[in-house]
Amino acid sequence: MAAVNDVVIKIATVNGTGSASANGLLRKAIFRMGVPVVGKNFFPSNIQGLPTWYEIRVTADGYQARSNRTDLMVAMNAQTYAKDMAEVTSGGWLVYDSTWPRSQLLDREDITVLGIPFSKLCNENFDGVRTRILMKNIAYVGAIAALLDLDLEVITQLLEETFGDKKHLVASNMEAIRIGYDYATENFPCPLEASVMAMDNTKDQVIMDGNTAAALGCVYAGATVGAWYPITPSTSLMDSFRSFCAKYRVDSETDKRTYAIIQAEDELAAIGMVLGASWMGARSFTPTSGPGISLMTEFIGLAYYAEIPAVIFNVQRTGPSTGMPTRTQQADILSCAYASHGDTKHILLFPANPAECFTTAVQSFDLAERLQTPVMVLSDLDIGMNDWMVPEFEWDDEYVPDRGKVLSADDLDQMDKFYRYLDSDGDGIPYRTLPGEHPKGSFFTRGSGHNKLGGYTEDGSEYQEVVDRLLLKWETARTLVPKPEIIYSKDNKAAILTVGSGNGGCKEALDRLASKNIGLNYCRVKAFPFGEEVKGFVEKHEVIYVVEQNRDAQLKTLLMLDIEANPDKLVSLLHYNGMPLNAGFVVDSVLKEMAKACAA
Amino acid sequence: MAAVNDVVIKIATVNGTGSASANGLLRKAIFRMGVPVVGKNFFPSNIQGLPTWYEIRVTADGYQARSNRTDLMVAMNAQTYAKDMAEVTSGGWLVYDSTWPRSQLLDREDITVLGIPFSKLCNENFDGVRTRILMKNIAYVGAIAALLDLDLEVITQLLEETFGDKKHLVASNMEAIRIGYDYATENFPCPLEASVMAMDNTKDQVIMDGNTAAALGCVYAGATVGAWYPITPSTSLMDSFRSFCAKYRVDSETDKRTYAIIQAEDELAAIGMVLGASWMGARSFTPTSGPGISLMTEFIGLAYYAEIPAVIFNVQRTGPSTGMPTRTQQADILSCAYASHGDTKHILLFPANPAECFTTAVQSFDLAERLQTPVMVLSDLDIGMNDWMVPEFEWDDEYVPDRGKVLSADDLDQMDKFYRYLDSDGDGIPYRTLPGEHPKGSFFTRGSGHNKLGGYTEDGSEYQEVVDRLLLKWETARTLVPKPEIIYSKDNKAAILTVGSGNGGCKEALDRLASKNIGLNYCRVKAFPFGEEVKGFVEKHEVIYVVEQNRDAQLKTLLMLDIEANPDKLVSLLHYNGMPLNAGFVVDSVLKEMAKACAA
Amino acid sequence: MSYIAKPKVSHPKLPKNKLGLTERDYEGSVSTLCAGCGHDSITSAIIQAVFELDIEPHRLAKISGIGCSSKTPTYFMSESHGFNSVHGRMPSVTTGANAANRDLMYVGVSGDGDSLSIGAGQFVHAIRRNLNMCYLIENNGVYGLTKGQFSASADIGSKPKKGLANQQEPIDAVSTALSLGATYIGRSFSGDKEQLVPLIKGAMLHKGFALLDIISPCVTFNDHEGSTKSYAHTRQFYHHVVDMDYIPPAKEIKADYEKGSAMPIKLHDGSKIVLRKVDKEYDPSSRAKAFKYLRERSNAGEIITGLLYVNEGRPEMHDLMGNVDTPLSKLSLDSLRPPDGELERILRGYR
Amino acid sequence: MSYIAKPKVSHPKLPKNKLGLTERDYEGSVSTLCAGCGHDSITSAIIQAVFELDIEPHRLAKISGIGCSSKTPTYFMSESHGFNSVHGRMPSVTTGANAANRDLMYVGVSGDGDSLSIGAGQFVHAIRRNLNMCYLIENNGVYGLTKGQFSASADIGSKPKKGLANQQEPIDAVSTALSLGATYIGRSFSGDKEQLVPLIKGAMLHKGFALLDIISPCVTFNDHEGSTKSYAHTRQFYHHVVDMDYIPPAKEIKADYEKGSAMPIKLHDGSKIVLRKVDKEYDPSSRAKAFKYLRERSNAGEIITGLLYVNEGRPEMHDLMGNVDTPLSKLSLDSLRPPDGELERILRGYR
Ligand SMILES: Cc1ncc(C[n+]2csc(CCOP(=O)(O)OP(=O)(O)O)c2C)c(N)n1
Ligand SMILES: Cc1ncc(C[n+]2csc(CCOP(=O)(O)OP(=O)(O)O)c2C)c(N)n1
Ligand code: SF4
Ligand code: SF4
Ligand SMILES: [Mg+2]
Ligand SMILES: [Mg+2]
């Protein structure tokens, strides 16, 4: 099935052996040749010594999801040879280190096995254990370059960019490239049928992971206080924020910082810090993942009820409990939507890729401050830690942040008396003040019963008045959150509806189904609560395939609850084994469900 | 509206002044006269000095809910005189301490105001500040005894039971009773039209609060490890467990205990302790309330996924956040059902009154051990802390606890090898072993990805096999949990469906509606997941009034999600101001909804 | 919370501070605590301290957890911003608030349950950061609001109203803070206003984490015979070891201190505190020695009070982080963004 | 977790203990930690200790939180029950387990992140209860599993691989445990098996809370120059202060200890430990003095190791509670119910 500019390369190595930079070099080289790529990392939940895979999909069409093929397997890890070979798609190739013979590799006749003595070659050409290991990685890049006909100029240039002044490193790396390249060229018919051919499909595109993009969004939103507790797969979000801040938030004269990153003692403290900072008027956020959300539950309820802005990035991983920390899933939707005891509901935003992580991050602060409530950005490991090709982000230098209804000292001067929880505008959103601004602005923030004036109460009707207003605010939120992406293929009765990282696989599936003459409409929700558009879309269709990455149909659940979508027409296609979604799953499932419906 | 044996007495005092025992005396006296009573406490979230009310409903019919009348107000708290007077139902009476004149009491002409100089009388007859305060409380009991024609013999007997050998206390209390009694008899026409007349409607009944009953259930279930962190309104559950244990669980010879109550450092630790103890094979539980549940969230997910039994009593209070800790609500249903990140769902049991708290407590351990998963008993402040008249609990001395699938040392001896998560019986429930029992029984408990053998895994399909089995276990749970209470009045198309403490008010409403010729069917769910019976009931009806005590229709939510109940026929009647439900609310709301439906 | 409206009468003859405010102006709502509760005395000491320090009410933020003690921020400074958060989590909220706005003064009020049980983790980590705040533990040895269970500060052998004496080792806030490096540590007693007011003043002005562990008897649940946190017991075993005077910026040190026993320390705003050592052996500048002294004395049943350790030298959180002087919350968002057009440059690195 | 199947070869010549087991029988799955990780050395010290103590594997429960360190229970004693719980919550799970079954031996394995940050509250409260367990902190100054952030045990001035040196006061597990009253406190180093093995044996047999704070370098993230938790730094500044020997029940104390420096202590099972004081000034029976000594030495940059404090006298949790000797989990449920017919009597009180 592999073809020119439509190949899936998978590299099997051991973690901690430095293969990440070699894999990145490979991915970038293809991208620089103008050919779209997708890069996915499959790594274990440990630090060193276990099998790890990097998958590069070369996709002229620019699809964003993983493919369920493996055309060219580079099996560098003896522990997983057997498994890796089994995975190669019929007609594909397997490259392995033939320094040691592997007779079991002759098992499959439907694939081509290419042995390259990487270790031997590197031992002959390089000194030092560490160098030899690193160079072996570069050497397989060289071999792949030959097999797929990559542009060596581009590779050279990338190495130069990486090592800059360190010319000797450029030289030694190029030597390793050559070793692999030459061996392949001499021993095999290069290039393979499936190769990479320069084109012009990556213009104005970048390759980035979602955590970096979200961090950049936080910088652009003007966030100043980031509190967090490390947890995979959200850690790199704060790491990136720290790097950007080191660059853009240090006063060049005084060397002083205009940001505070606080590594909290745990997630309970991290969210407490965010609430404290937001209360003071700073834009503040915390990145975390499932277990962290569970620990933040009590504070999230306080923020909801006391109406304090907060931005929480939940980079979801496979649950429940510790689950599989290095695998992806979308299974925190329900627990985030209704986090905390008592009557609560929370705004969720669902970016679908790194580009949206950037814009959604900015939006999340605007919405949190406008609505005075926690906003949770639900990304996942696939978006957060994998390499996506996305259009260059745009930034409007005229952007005016929405700080919401905050009374200034002047406003307060002109007021008789300030009451915190009055709904003066009829939109369910009260006015707030910032501590320290003005003597008249003081009020008491509390999670205990309070009335609309902000006073403590145990009076049932005063209490009820406030929680009822929160429902009105929810309706306002519905009008402010991002609208879904909707695509009509033709005016038919069936559609696919998905969320977040389901987007890539579903869109590709739409194309594939269309090629089978099945034209489905498409809706990708971007936020909870759902607005009119989602409701209208659901109502308009007779069958909606709800594609999501969890076991319990959590998105479907929200559709049923928030817009009373009729469950009879919502057909769940659930993918939750921890791997990113691929179009094949969607296509197969849709076809199966269609067949079932016909049979019934 | 008040009539003989149908009176609502409300006593307004200040907390910390010892009125609780006087109020208890009054309630018991009526009960001992064979007349059913309901006792509700409305107290502030502080310790001393704020207004507090005790409401006694005298109800020949034996209704269990509050009434929305106040026939006889005993206004002992000057701070709340005005409010208290305003609350008296037209035609009712207000008793106040006339030691100081209260001219504003003449405001209402539709009620009768009776002044009794309690303070003056007590100052004349007793010495010491504390004694005078306490005796003033007893004196109002005396006055009410005269006004309502209570049996002084019964009161004397109760005082004798209370004070036992301390004859002088009996005497002084009886003197206080006399003072109030005589003043009322001499100055007012006693008894009032609404009075209490001895009958025989309390045979085989007891008066108890739900926390005491649940604690007794834990004792009978054989619970040995109780870990907790104090929180209103669940605290008295552990207090009662401690008292019962002090009596029944201390070895008479060695003076040693067969129970461990651990006051944890917080709720995270409390649930951790429960899991540790359950893992070791002890029956273990924790009582808590909303904020505690939020803090337990992470561990609850671990228990679900690692399949560890746990019993959690959630005595619900008004949320969100700290909310109103001394007011009731049923607003943790949703957060308990889906507690924790990732795909999880949990078994909920809903007792409706103290008698059911007793049986449900026992059941909860059986179910938790049978199903190897957390079971949450959702009570509330109304059930847990108020005085309910319920039939004497029954206990079958032949009761055989269900310890679930635990392999004994003998079983293990005969096995080749033990694997923790195999579904050998096809019901989704694997076998477990207890640490220390047998060398072959050892296994590794973890919240991280594991396969059916109990081994660590990061393999998608191995992971999925286990979480899919958990769904099968859920279906087994569905068949094991308690069935709903269903009452058919006639074969009509409309019904009331409720849960927990909604029971009393709804049943009374059924009677009242029936008297208006509106005959509704009735279903009270006792557990989540819902079984066939609930599903059948919902399907059979065209309109179902879902009565629940929260803002967001959380029970309706579960019906929609768990049995895909059609929301169109579920009409929510929501009562969530923190006060216990009363029948009037249900009747009025049903009538209003019926009118709306007719108009539409 | 109270049903009694607070009388807002003007009292022309009450003394005024530099801001023209009277002590009344620093009061809050009427307390709803039990009559005689130690916490109310601490409230009034706070009011006196802030009045005398001429603090602008709206420039002070008062933060608490949950408990009788944590309710007290409602009872002082009604013109200040208050935040009654969740149980045990006052430190994190204060950390975030302070990170956002370093210019305000932060007073955290907590209980022994709030800080030493559920909040123990946050308590120790706020100390580690040398968070610039005044942290008050109103310590009664019990959970007042949930009706009298022992807290982690209950002493071994202390008897409850009924039931068995406590057998668990107490967590002593002072020695914990010493072992973690808090930079201003005092212990006092709600019934000793004379000692308490200057301690609070110093704590408010100290730049860094200032802890005051204040024994504050719970009259309802822990003031009986046999309780080691009762008024009677505290009075009996109470020892001043290092008292202090607070001297405002302008004033000179005048009092005639006995040589060797007085130790003046300059605070960051120019004011001074003078330590007066009652026990000359005591060294309030050494964590190691202070700890040893305290343990030995507390083994002997003594309650050692006063300003027990102080270190004006250690940088507080913002300085440890190297932050700008302007509060982060006051920076305009525009100034926080990379320059116009910079995004394009950044993105070039991702091609 | 590993893809390599563990070879299950029999080794007839390996030495056997009293139970007829070899050290091999106390091993677990193959470690998936980084080659050279200190934690693996601790695992092997544990294996040696339990082998030599003749412990029946299934009578020991091993419990952990989350982290590289918390993974290690998989790598020893595969015939024991293990519980890899959630991050920072090993103490509570162990408390509950022990409450239910006091007869097993409990080994808790934790990391500095697991115990001193997220788990700080549970850590201190387990100490307060004098929970009968052996609590190991595999202390590397960083969060290994999340890739090298500083933990709360990082020393001031310790440098990360890149970025700025740590400025926050460390939480020292040993002095915290001293201030809270743990009854057996030791510090050691993963690279010093000779010291470690007897310390672990004593900790396992001690009746009460035994803490071992074991410096265990993280070769991947915290073993570079400038790190104060590296192999090199630890070796350089490492001082034995009180070493100990473990002497099994039957054996007599034979070795010839220098007078005044040896201190024999009898453990509850009849075995003995003999403390050998390297620094004769040191007093491992006084919390006050030990604390002072440790702080002063650590101020001087020394890493003080050995059995630093021990108190065999304080009752452990069950004895504090007055519980029966039989494990609660072994009592038949029937025996726990009030006698037949008693319910009726109870209910009479509610009429
Ligand atoms: C998460 C949570 N758990 C439990 C409670 C119940 N609770 C309220 S106050 C309190 C203890 C207060 O003790 P302390 O901090 O010593 O304050 P005090 O009342 O003694 O002044 C508890 C356990 C709560 N509010 N939140
Ligand atoms: C609630 C929660 N937050 C965060 C994490 C992520 N996490 C896993 S291990 C770890 C730190 C481990 O550090 P330490 O205990 O010192 O162990 P080490 O890896 O250094 O041995 C963290 C933060 C988690 N698993 N759970
Ligand atoms: S219960 Fe105790 S702590 Fe609470 S207000 Fe009353 S006296 Fe104070
Ligand atoms: S990362 Fe560090 S702590 Fe973790 S296994 Fe590797 S060396 Fe050990
Ligand atoms: Mg207290
Ligand atoms: Mg560590």
pLDDT tier at C7, thresholds 50, 70, 90: very low
**Does any domain span residue C110?**
yes
Cβ pair A341:B326 closer than 8 A:
no
Task: Judge if the beta carbon of residue D146 lies within 6 A of ligand 2.
Answer: yes
Which of D118, D153, D161 is the mutation pick for testing A, counting most A CBs within 10 A? D118
Exposure of C96 in the CB half-sphere (CA atoms within 13 A) = 37
Atom 23 in ligand 1: which residue has the minimum CA distance? Answer: B230
* Closest chain A residue to C334, measured at CA: A222
Helix (H), strand (E) at residue D108:
strand D105-111
Q: What's the mean per-residue pLDDT of chain C?
A: 93
Which pLDDT does position D259 carry in this prediction?
A: 61
What amino acid occupies position A452? K
Task: Judge if the beta carbon of residue D68 lies within 6 A of ligand 4.
Answer: yes
CA distance C156 to chain D (A): 11
What range defines the domain where residue C252 resides? 23-325
Whether C140 contacts C218, CB under 8 Å: yes
Portions of chain B given CATH number 3.40.50.920: 485-599
Whether B139 contacts B121, CB under 8 Å: yes
Write the CB contacts of A38 (distance below 8 Å, at least 6 apart in sequence).
A55, A56, A57, A59, A63, A64, A65, A66, A386, A387, A388, A389, A504
Kindly state whether C48 is in contact with chain A, defined as any CB-CB distance less than 8 angstroms: no
- How many angstroms does the Cα of residue C146 sit away from the middle of ligand 1? 6
Count the helix, strand and coil residues of chain A and give each as a percent rounded to the nearest 5.
Answer: 40, 20, 40
The pLDDT of residue B253 is above 60: yes
pLDDT tier at B252, thresholds 50, 70, 90: confident
Instruction: Return d(Cα A513, Cα A523) in angstroms, integer.
Output: 16
Q: Which residues face A485 on adjacent strands? A: A524
User: Token pair for residue A504?
Assistant: 């890539």
* Among candidate residues D146, D168, D149, D165, the one with its CA nearest the CA of residue D157: D165
Of the partner residues A16, A49, A266, the one whose CB lies closest to the CB of residue D117: A266
Which pLDDT does position D3 carry in this prediction?
A: 35
Q: Are strands B388-391 and B260-263 parallel, antiparallel or unpaired?
A: unpaired
Write the CB contacts of B146 (distance below 8 Å, at least 6 apart in sequence).
B180, B181, B182, B184, B185, B188, B190, B191
Which of A265, A268, A271 is the mutation pick for testing D, counting most D CBs within 10 A? A265
Kindly state whether C69 is in contact with chain A, defined as any CB-CB distance less than 8 angstroms: no
User: Token pair for residue B489?
Assistant: 């009045």
Encode pLDDT of C303-333 as tens digits.
Answer: 999 999 999 999 999 999 999 999 999 999 9
Task: Judge if the beta carbon of residue B230 lies within 6 A of ligand 1.
Answer: yes
**Mean pLDDT, residues C86-112 taken together:** 98
Encode pLDDT of B27-38 as tens digits.
Answer: 999 999 999 999
Whether B431 contacts B443, CB under 8 Å: no
Q: Give the ranges where A326-459 is alpha helix by DSSP (H).
A: 333-337, 354-371, 381-385, 409-413
The pLDDT of residue C256 is above 70: no
Whether B141 contacts B180, CB under 8 Å: yes
Please give the DSSP secondary-structure letter assigned to residue C257: P
* Closest chain A residue to D34, measured at CA: A48
Which pLDDT does position C249 carry in this prediction?
A: 87
Cβ pair A266:C121 closer than 8 A:
yes
| Category of A224 on φ-ψ map: left (φ > 0), alpha (ψ -120 to 50) or beta | alpha
Cβ pair C3:B80 closer than 8 A:
yes
In three-state secondary structure terms, C184 is: strand
Q: What angle do CA C135, C137, C139 make, to 5 degrees?
A: 170
- Assign residue C124 the CATH number of its domain: 3.40.50.970
Task: Give me the DSSP letters along A192-239.
Answer: -SS-----S--TTEEEE-HHHHHHHHHHHHT--EEEE---TTTHHHHH
**Does any domain span residue C204?**
yes
pLDDT tier at C12, thresholds 50, 70, 90: confident
Cβ-based contacts of D344 with chain B (< 8 Å): 392
Portions of chain B given CATH number 3.40.50.970: 208-391
Cβ-based contacts of D149 with chain A (< 8 Å): 230, 263
Ligand nearest D110 Cα, by number? 2
Whether D111 contacts D148, CB under 8 Å: no
| Residues of chain D numbered 253-292 and touching chain B (CB < 8 Å) | none
**Does any domain span residue D182?**
yes
Kindly state whether D123 is in contact with chain A, defined as any CB-CB distance less than 8 angstroms: no
Q: How many CB pairs under 8 A join A and D?
A: 62
- How many angstroms does the Cα of residue C143 sit away from the middle of ligand 3? 9
pLDDT tier at D5, thresholds 50, 70, 90: very low
Instruction: Return d(Cα C84, Cα C95) in angstroms, integer.
Output: 14
Of the partner residues B47, B50, B79, the one whose CB lies closest to the CB of residue C145: B47
CATH no., domain B208-391:
3.40.50.970
ipTM for the predicted complex comes to: 0.97
Instruction: Return d(Cα C222, Cα C215) in angstroms, integer.
Output: 12
**Mean pLDDT, residues B298-323 taken together:** 98
Which pLDDT does position D108 carry in this prediction?
A: 98
Instruction: Return d(Cα B489, Cα B481) in angstroms, integer.
Output: 25
Going C32 to C34 to C36 to C40, the CA torsion angle's sign is negative
Which of A25, A32, A205, A224 is the mutation pick for testing C, counting most C CBs within 10 A? A224
The pLDDT of residue D4 is above 50: no
The pLDDT of residue D255 is above 70: no
- How many angstroms does the Cα of residue C211 sit away from the middle of ligand 3? 22
Ligand 3 pocket residues where CB is under 6 Å: B 47-48; C 33-34, 37, 39, 68, 140, 144-145, 218-221
pLDDT tier at C5, thresholds 50, 70, 90: very low
Instruction: Return d(Cα A282, Cα C99) in angstroms, integer.
Output: 9
Task: Judge if the beta carbon of residue D39 lies within 6 A of ligand 4.
Answer: yes
pLDDT tier at C164, thresholds 50, 70, 90: confident
Which pLDDT does position A239 carry in this prediction?
A: 97
Please give the DSSP secondary-structure letter assigned to residue A432: B
**Mean pLDDT, residues B581-591 taken together:** 98
Which pLDDT does position A489 carry in this prediction?
A: 87
- Ligand 2 atom closest to the Cα of residue A230 is 23
The pLDDT of residue B7 is above 90: yes
- Average confidence (pLDDT) per 10 residues, chain A, 600 residues: 93 93 97 98 94 97 95 95 94 95 79 96 94 95 98 97 94 96 97 95 97 98 98 98 97 94 98 98 98 98 98 98 98 98 98 98 98 98 98 91 97 96 98 96 97 97 98 98 94 94 98 96 98 97 98 98 95 98 98 92
The pLDDT of residue D2 is above 80: no
Q: What's the mean per-residue pLDDT of chain D?
A: 93
Kindly state whether D49 is in contact with chain A, defined as any CB-CB distance less than 8 angstroms: no
Which pLDDT does position B491 carry in this prediction?
A: 77
Task: Judge if the beta carbon of residue C138 lies within 6 A of ligand 1.
Answer: yes
Q: Assess if CATH 3.30.300.30 describes domain B6-203.
A: no
Which pLDDT does position C259 carry in this prediction?
A: 61
Which pLDDT does position C10 carry in this prediction?
A: 61
The pLDDT of residue D57 is above 90: yes
**D130 burial via Cβ count (<10 Å: 0-12, 13-18, 19+):** buried
Cβ pair B342:A334 closer than 8 A:
no
- How many angstroms does the Cα of residue B419 sit away from the middle of ligand 4? 30
Task: Give me the DSSP letters along D253-272.
Answer: P-S-PPTTTEEEEE-TTS-E
Whether D230 contacts D79, CB under 8 Å: no
Portions of chain B given CATH number 3.40.920.10: 6-203
Kindly state whether C65 is in contact with chain B, defined as any CB-CB distance less than 8 angstroms: no
Cβ pair D33:A48 closer than 8 A:
yes
Which pLDDT does position A273 carry in this prediction?
A: 98
Q: How many domains does chain D have?
A: 1
**Does any domain span residue C3?**
no
| Residues of chain C numbered 230-289 and touching chain D (CB < 8 Å) | 287-289
Cβ pair B302:A321 closer than 8 A:
yes
CA distance D5 to chain B (A): 13
Encode pLDDT of B337-353 as tens digits.
Answer: 999 999 999 999 999 99
Which pLDDT does position A230 carry in this prediction?
A: 98
Instruction: Return d(Cα C281, Cα D69) in angstroms, integer.
Output: 44
Write the CB contacts of C348 (distance below 8 Å, at least 6 apart in sequence).
none
Ligand nearest C71 Cα, by number? 1
Domain B485-599, CATH among 3.40.50.920, 3.40.190.10, 1.10.10.10, 3.40.50.300: 3.40.50.920
Q: What's the mean per-residue pLDDT of chain B?
A: 96
Cβ pair B445:D84 closer than 8 A:
yes
- Of these ranges, A394-398, B106-110, B575-579, the one predicted with the greatest mean pLDDT is B575-579
- Ligand 4 atom closest to the Cα of residue D147 is 1
Cβ-based contacts of C1 with chain B (< 8 Å): 44, 46, 50
